[in-house]
Every structure is written in C-alpha cells, then in structure tokens.
Amino acid sequence: MATKNIMLVCAAGMSTSILVTKMQEIAEQRSLDVHIFAVSGTEAEDKLKDRPVDIMMLGPQVRYMKPKFEDLAEKNDIIIEVIDMRDYGTMNGENVLNTALKLTE
C-alpha cells in the first residue's frame, strides 16, 4: 500500500492531536504506511497547498467548514469527510483510521 496522507482538522488542532496519536498507534500495529497529522481549521487551507493530502477529515465541531474546502479538495483529488461524532467523542482512533482507509479503496 502506498503512503496515505491523512489530515485531521478541528477548531484549534488540539483535540485531533490526541486522535492522531491513537490512529498512529493502530497504524503501527498493522504496519500501515500512513502519515497522519492534525491542523486547526484556520491552518488547513495553507496545509493543503503545502503538502500532499489524500484524505481530509473534519472534526464534527468544524463540519460547517466542509463547503469551504470542497472546491480545493476536488481540484487536488483529496477526499473530504466529517469524522463520526461518536468516534470523535470517544477518540476511537481505530474506527477513524478504518473510515479513512475505506474512503480510498
């Protein structure tokens, strides 16, 4: 499997940092070639221009930003999805990672 770059977006980038750690632990256990990072909603657009992103996952609290990113995502062949509220609230890194990977199948 080629490297997948997954960007998580939340209001300040703080809560998604915890989720990134949990997702990375699962990815390492499975020997998956993924790069997962978190940014705030205000940083996301610049990050999309700076680095390759395959999947952009928005925290439920910033779901309203999805339309803002859709044109840019489409132009750059980036999949954009809102993280399930339950998985986000429980910081279920395994489910969020599984969802991200299924989006690229």
Active site residues: 10
Strands in 55-58's sheet, in edge-to-edge order, are 34-40, 4-10, 55-58, 79-82
Tell how far CA 43 is from the center of its chain.
13
Relative to beta strand 4-10, strand 79-82 is unpaired
The answer for residues whose C-beta is within 8 angstroms of residue 49's C-beta and 6 or more apart is none
Pairing type for strands 34-40 and 55-58 reads unpaired
